[in-house]
Structure 1
């Protein structure tokens, strides 16, 4: 029997870990203390992570925040430079943990970008947003792009990209909304907003029937504007440049501003911007 299976994480140990964190001790010092006391490093790390996660979640709920839920997440534990997308090697260019933001390079090929744009052009119309008061859709003055939706798995190209996304972020294909392609001309923008559905809005229960909350977003850049058009995260002063073939992924474990996932599409200052957006839900999207 291994040391890991012999060592039991008791409620007393969990309380001690939380007390050390509350006292201001660093995670490294707490881990070092546990190892010196005879704890297997792997067991100690798991005990720390689960204890602190449980404590933070309990504290958040006590303060009135919605409960956290599982979210899609790329496997970045070993800080890989590349991830296996199944049919394509994808670069990891940047990762942030709070909020959870990952910038992917070479997520799409140039040919895939051109094909998506070509298929989308005949179907473009003024972009709509979800009407959270009714559960339907509406024109929103904060969003001045034109766009269209592909059905999930509508054609071979879309199905291939959706399978790649699912593999990269470890989330079922069926939990994704249809791929949306958006076109921004000079001056067009999408002002900062959240992608989750506000629990306080009357139309949210209707929206959630189709697959639960949104828990993740992937924005893929299909065409580069000459100036402007970046994806901004105002709460953390981050802007991701709209580089063709690249993408930015972010997740949000609860429908609340504490996730710091406020984001927007900065105005296009010159040229045109094309993106494809994939929203991910808690459950199968119908």
Structure 2
């Protein structure tokens, strides 16, 4: 089994060798790195092929992802367990459809807010909730003095983040859809976050952009750029309340499962848009799940 120190990223060549030797975890990790183009050009043929290999080698997570990505594939539905069946399931993934997000619709010109119905298929929403359910913990906010996370009473919900080492292909395809709908580069994406709001939990009024007059945030901006856009995906709908609210306009929006909401945190001239002050209102019944993708203006620098 490949053991990975996050400070020492694995070499795809080593992962390929381990995959060829029958390591399902290595095959799955190589699938993700091939999809995002880590130390290689993005290669979806290799990514899906390695996902199929991981499934054939017994990886439950790879098998579950293929069921999400190719729900109508006969071998997966029939429960077959041979390598040819998993290869067939991988070939059945309609990659063109996955990489073609729906067209956004403007719901507010200022601040610039867009709704994207049907951004993510329901099965993918369920998968992301499943992945996040065992990882969520108390959500934090930026400490303006240090740039580090801290607990604060204005934010009472739970959250978790998926970095490169914990992503899977369903999540990578979600991020690819974000790239295509925003027109922003892949290297500007922050780690994907998944947020859970239990009944009564909230993220009170706040902004997503960073203000450089605070030392901790200025350092973060210098390394990663401004957070110029936010995209939320509503992962479920079996709750009441829980709207995303914008203070300046009174807009309150709640999407159905799989819908997305996107807004620009900055103006065309690069200045921050203070009208984007918003809140995640508390559900009054049930539990709300959303995926949050913040987009930076530049690639991260150490």
> What range describes the TM-score normalised by the shorter chain of this pair?
0.5 to 0.7
1:279 pairs with 2:273:
no
Equivalent of 2:284, from 269, 276, 284? 269
Question: Cα–Cα, structure 1 residues 104 and 239, in superposed 2: closer, same or farther, change >3 Å?
Answer: same
Equivalent of 1:183, from 179, 196, 213? 196
Q: In 2, are the aligned partners of 1:229 and 1:242 still within 8 Å (CA)?
A: no
Q: In 1, are the aligned partners of 2:210 and 2:226 still within 8 Å (CA)?
A: yes
- Helix, strand or coil for the counterpart of 2:191? coil
Equivalent of 1:227, from 240, 247, 253? 240
Matched with 1:30 is none
| Structural mapping, 1:100-179, within 5 Å | 100-152=112-164, 154-179=167-192
**Higher RCO structure, 1 or 2 (CA under 8 Å, sep 6+):** 1
Q: In 1, are the aligned partners of 2:243 and 2:252 still within 8 Å (CA)?
A: yes
Q: In 2, are the aligned partners of 1:86 and 1:167 still within 8 Å (CA)?
A: no
Q: In 2, are the aligned partners of 1:176 and 1:285 still within 8 Å (CA)?
A: no
CA distance in 2, matches of 1:256, 1:85: 35
Q: Aligned pairs, how many?
A: 203
Q: Which consecutive unaligned segments of at least 5 residues does structure 2 have?
A: 1-95
- Helix, strand or coil for the counterpart of 1:134? coil
| Structural mapping, 1:41-60, within 5 Å | none
TM-score, normalized by length of structure 1?
A: 0.66
CA distance in 1, matches of 2:262, 2:235: 15
Q: In 1, are the aligned partners of 2:199 and 2:286 still within 8 Å (CA)?
A: yes
When you count strand as a share of all residues, which structure comes out higher?
1
CA distance in 1, matches of 2:120, 2:281: 22
CA distance in 1, matches of 2:115, 2:164: 23
Q: In 1, are the aligned partners of 2:228 and 2:266 still within 8 Å (CA)?
A: yes
Matched with 1:48 is none
